[in-house]
Structure 1
Amino acid sequence: MTSAGYTTGLADGSNADEPGLVVQVQQGDTDAYAVLVQRHLPRALRVAWRVLRHREDAEDAVQDAFLRALERIDQCDPERPFGPWFFRIVATTAINKQRSSKRRETDELPETAVSDVIGPADAATLSVLRGEVDAALATLPAMQRQLIEMVTFEEFTPTEAAQVLEIPAGTARWHLHEARKALRTQLQSWLGDGGEDE
């Protein structure tokens, strides 16, 4: 499980047959679309949650994004990966929802039973560190925060994140560099002497 309780990965771990699925959907096959939905739902929920920070709003945004994607499926090039095309729709839908509602809730990431794996003292330290990281992330400009979260927590490549956010890959790398530098400075007490060597 990851942020907001959403799991990682595609349903079957493979996207090798996606070009065929996209073509089938373009020909009206709703079962093929159901397969694409199942594969991309967990990651779509995480992308929307990272923007909205509210589970129900993220679920609404993803549902809207799946409907928009289906309406625009003829614009999807089956020769290119479905994921980046779709996640761009998810991110845009979530950003638009955030702008229209002006709702900036900051739900905490769900606490897991880390004390079951590590001792209570270490769990308390981890909780403090999580708070420090969340606070540091909150100080970043929106673009830098989104990129850091997508690349670090959602395991997007910088190029994939750039595609989703519709910015040049070089710009994404620059924002990531600046964000990491700012985070290293803010979290210096946790990083110790090794924080500047990255």
Structure 2
Amino acid sequence: MAPSDERLVHETVQGNLQAFEELVHRYQRQVFTIAYRMTNQREEAEDIAQEVFITVYQKLYQFDTSRRFAPWIQRITVNTCITRLRKKKKVVLVNFEDNISNRADPFLNIDYNDPAVVYDREELKLDLKEALLQLPESYRAMLILRYQLDMSNQEIADALGITRENVEVKMHRARKSLRKVLLERRDERRQRDELSASR
């Protein structure tokens, strides 16, 4: 039977580097996935993953082995991503079309051969990506964890070190903020179209 994560943490703190290598092996894909979804840049995600495991190794002695290891490393990963995002103002985030295509498609009965339909859908994807860039990093992270990584509110709460109720409140605010930005962008586009038509 494979040792638990918490057992591996204990052994690593005792000086067993093979135990730490096993932890890295277990979590490297998840850490990289979170970093990549947050940044949409492979090299940046690889750098973040490396930084996360260095931080984890340095702080393992602080980990409470009576708790689960997964939320702890997820929290370090998210915090590392947010710190990077705040340092780098020009960041291109992952589009939500991956999420749209992976879920039940609300446009199933629409003719995708119609150029107008394709154009409208591409506009929506662009609006979502650019609207996300205008949100505070904490809201951005919340929406990506929920809709890109399919994490439940409880999993997000565990990963961020906050209560599930707090997640629900922040998720509501994040969605509201995203909707507001999207509506503003739509209004701006409509005004531009009306100006163009009147010329």
Following superposition, the deviation at residue 183 of structure 1 comes to: 4.7
Residue 61 (1) aligns with residue 48 (2): yes
Residue 131 (1) aligns with residue 93 (2): no
Alignment of 1:103-122 (within 5 A): 103-106=89-92, 109=95, 121=113
Following superposition, the deviation at residue 159 of structure 1 comes to: 2.9
Match of 2:58 among 71, 76, 90: 71
Aligned residue pairs, count:
168
The one-letter code of the counterpart of 1:70 is Y
What is the CA–CA distance in structure 1 between the aligned matches of 2:86 and 2:174, rounded to whole Å? Answer: 23
Note closer, same or farther for the CA distance 1:145–1:93 as it changes in structure 2 (3 Å cut).
Answer: closer
The one-letter code of the counterpart of 1:149 is I
Counterpart residue number, 1:152: 147
Q: Which has the larger radius of gyration?
A: 2
For the 8 Å contact 2:156–2:167, the answer to whether it is kept is yes
SS in 2 for 1:72: helix
Counterpart residue number, 2:159: 164
- Give the alignment's TM-score, normalised by structure 2: 0.66
Following superposition, the deviation at residue 18 of structure 1 comes to: 1.9
Structure 1 residue runs without a partner (length 5+): 1-14, 188-198
- Give the alignment's TM-score, normalised by structure 1: 0.66
What is the CA–CA distance in structure 2 between the aligned matches of 1:142 and 1:105, rounded to whole Å? Answer: 11
Residue 41 (1) aligns with residue 36 (2): no
Counterpart residue number, 2:85: 98
Aligned residues: percent identity? Answer: 29
For the 8 Å contact 2:71–2:158, the answer to whether it is kept is yes
Structure 2 residue runs without a partner (length 5+): 102-107, 184-199
